[in-house]
Amino acid sequence: MSRGQPKAKTDLACLILAAGKGTRMYSGRAKMLHQLLGMPLVSYPVERALELHASPIVAVLGFQRAEVEKVLIARHGQGTVTVVEQTEQKGTGHAVRLGLAALRGWEGTVLILYGDVPLLSRETLTALVKKSRQGGTLAILTAELARPHGYGRVIRDSRGHVAGVVEDKDASEDQRRITEVNAGIYAAPAAFLRQATARLSPRNAQGELYLTDIIAKAASSIGVVSVTVSTEEMAGVNDRQQLVSVEKILCRRIVEQLGKHATFRDPETALVEAGVAIDEDVEIGRNVVLRGRTRIGAGVRVDDGCILTDTEVGAGANLLPYTVATQSCIGPGAKVGPFAHLRPGTELGPEVHVGNFVETKKSRLGRGSKANHLTYLGDTIIGERVNVGAGTITCNYNGYEKRQTIIEDGAFIGSDTQLVAPVRVGKRAVVAAGATITEDIRDGALAITRAPLTQVDGYADRVAARYTNKATSKP
């Protein structure tokens, strides 16, 4: 992230106010770091700014600045967002003044966003910027709220023009009854913002520099226009209830969009992140979670309770209930679950079957291979048409390092086998049930490590007789 003078690339710049601690989150972490549908809160306005091609994008950070900055770099790349530090939260006006210092010498329109208002649409913000540009005015976003308590109220003159905004704590009884509120999102010429924020005073109920004081200033100079926004879009995140209700709204929007060509059996219970892609004719069951860069091919069925993270599912695959897959690749026509756990680095080829209580990690299974029951496959390369019997375990860890198991095409691994890695089972080799394989098995060979079986005839009766006689001979 650049800390010097950002380069102007367009005539739209964006200031993101995000210095607040978020006291009502009752959290050890800055509010901006809390995750909202797989993305930190602070990234939402950054994404909006990027969509509008705003540059520079300046974030005013305070509480846990270093951590928030790190997250911004990880998410959006070095240099995308210029960070300005506000060590003491002296108000929105003060924050903007600091942000503007990072735009020294820059002329154009400045869009002001909040770090904690994630639902604003691109359309709304485009309209706001357009309004400001049309007349070189200050454009403000306002909303009608049935319960306006806590928000700044929009004061209009007799002709209906915006005359100013008065904060809830400074408002008179009459002003408090106004239901049109200030959403706190603005677009204005940089020159006006510089001038207007240079002369703010903290003489108000909160002793802060109110950014809202610039509205009356604009009304008597460059003019103010308003753009209305729905209550839903302007929703801010101040506490954990609001965090989850905003997350629900974001999720609902995504599911509605994907639900046009995929069937969500119970859309209310699906959790789908923004980066997920789903092809046609996919069926999604109840309580399904799809995260990260998950991709689902045509005709796939994802049954109830599946949780997929950064996982690719090939066309026509069938994921039975409660399959959990992370950073995995599931081939076309594969059948997985119920209760399968595919850990990072799993690659299932076409038509592979992985059944219940099977765990895989960094393992590849070739076309048509099967591991249907109670198995652990770690650091394993399996060829085509291999059958892995119930209870097979790859012993891939010796306490110090992970080692590889290779099972070649057409091999048959009997039930309850331990494959002690590093080890290779050759093509079409047969491992008899209950084996502990500690050396490579040759192509087509039978491997058997069974202890000799002994049978003692009449044993049960002899033992029973001993105990029964004792019991009856006792007084």
CA distance 248 to 268: 9
Minimum Å gap between C-beta 235 and Ca ion is 10
Buried b (16+ CB within 10 A) or exposed e, 326-357: bbbbbbbbbbbbbbbbbbebbbbbbbbbbbbb
Residue 90, contacted partner among Ca ion, ligand UD1, none, CB below 5-8 A by kind:
ligand UD1
Residue closer to ligand UD1 by CB (options 124, 182) is: 182
Least CB distance to Ca ion at residue 72 (A): 20
Handedness of CA 143, 148, 150, 155 (dihedral sign): positive
The active-site residue out of 94, 261, 353, 373 is: 373
Cβ proximity to ligand UD1: between 59 and 307 the closer is 59
Which pair of structure tokens corresponds to residue 325?
């897959």
Q: If contact means CB under 5 to 8 A according to the sort of partner, which of ligand UD1, Ca ion, none does residue 414 touch? A: none
Q: Which does 165 bind (CB under 5 to 8 A by kind): ligand UD1, Ca ion, none?
A: ligand UD1
Q: Minimum distance between the CB of residue 145 and ligand UD1, rounded to whole angstroms?
A: 10
Nearest residue to ligand UD1, scored by beta-carbon proximity: 152
Choosing among Ca ion, ligand UD1, none, which partner's interface includes residue 91 (Cβ < 5 to 8 Å by kind)? ligand UD1
For residues 108 and 202, the answer to whether their CB atoms sit within 8 Å is no
236 binds Ca ion (CB under 5 A): yes
Measured from the CB atom, is 135 or 202 closer to ligand UD1? 202
The region of 36-44, 86-94, 228-236, 376-384 touching Ca ion under the rule CB under 5 A is: 228-236
Would you say 140 or 317 has its CB closer to ligand UD1?
A: 140
Locus of tokens 């506490």: 239
Stretch that binds Ca ion, among 97-105, 169-177, 230-238, 319-327 (CB under 5 A): 230-238
Q: Does residue 344 touch Ca ion according to CB under 5 A?
A: no
Write each residue from 178 to 217 as x if it is in contact with Ca ion (CB under 5 A), else as -, in one continuous string: ----------------------------------------
Cα separation, 73 vs 1, in Å, equals: 6
Task: Tell me the closest approach of the beta carbon of residue 238 to Ca ion, in angstroms.
Answer: 5
- The residue among 178 and 390 lying less far from ligand UD1, judged by its C-beta, is 178
Q: Whose CA is closest to 421, among 368, 391, 376?
A: 376
| Partner from ligand UD1, Ca ion, none contacting 394, C-beta within 5 to 8 A by type | none
373 in catalytic set: yes
What does 20 bind: ligand UD1, Ca ion, none (CB cut-off 5 to 8 Å by kind)?
A: ligand UD1
Query: What is the SS3 string spanning the chain?
Result: CCCCCCCCCCCEEEEEEECCCCHHHCCCCCHHHCEECCEECCHHHHHHHHHCCCCCEEEEECCCHHHHHHHHHHHHCCCCEEEEECCCCCCHHHHHHHHHHCCCCCCCEEEEEECCCCCCCHHHHHHHHHHHHHHCCEEEEEEECCCCCCCCEEEECCCCCEEEEECHHHCCHHHHCCCEEEEEEEEEEHHHHHHHHHCCCCCCCCCCCCCCHHHHHHHCCCCEEEEECCHHHHCCCCCHHHHHHHHHHHHHHHHHHHCCCCEECCHHHCEECCCCEECCCCEECCCCEEECCCEECCCCEECCCCEEECCEECCCCEECCCCEEECCEECCCCEECCCCEECCCCEECCCCEEEEEEEEEEEEECCCCEEEEEEEEEEEEECCCCEECCCCEEECECCCCECCEEECCCCEECCCCEEECCEEECCCCEECCCCEECCCECCCCEECCCCCCCCCCCHHHHHHHHHHHHHHHCC
> Is residue 299 within the footprint of Ca ion (CB under 5 A)?
no
Q: Which is nearer to ligand UD1, 170 or 409 (CB)?
A: 170
Distance between CA atoms of residues 395 and 379, nearest Å: 9
What gap in Å lies between CA 3 and CA 110, rounded to an integer?
19
Residue 40 interface partner, choices ligand UD1, Ca ion, none, CB cut-off 5-8 Å depending on type:
none
Stretch that binds Ca ion, among 50-58, 236-244, 369-377, 379-387 (CB under 5 A): 236-244
Q: Which option in ligand UD1, Ca ion, none does residue 210 bind, with CB closer than 5 to 8 A by kind? A: ligand UD1
User: Min. distance of Cβ 395 from ligand UD1 in angstroms?
Assistant: 53
| Minimum gap (Å) between residue 75 Cβ and ligand UD1 | 18
Q: By the criterion CB under 6 A, which residues form the site for ligand UD1?
A: 17-20, 60, 86, 89-92, 94-95, 114-116, 151-152, 165, 167, 181-184, 210-212, 236
60 binds, among ligand UD1, Ca ion, none (CB under 5 to 8 A by kind): ligand UD1
Instruction: Decide whether 62 or 368 has the Cβ nearer to ligand UD1.
Output: 62
Q: 32 or 329, CB closer to ligand UD1?
A: 32
Q: Which is nearer to ligand UD1, 228 or 372 (CB)?
A: 228
Shortest spacing between CB 281 and Ca ion, in angstroms: 43
Nearest approach in angstroms of CB 42 to Ca ion is: 14
Which residues here bind Ca ion, judged by CB under 5 A? Answer: 236
Q: Catalytic positions, please?
A: 373
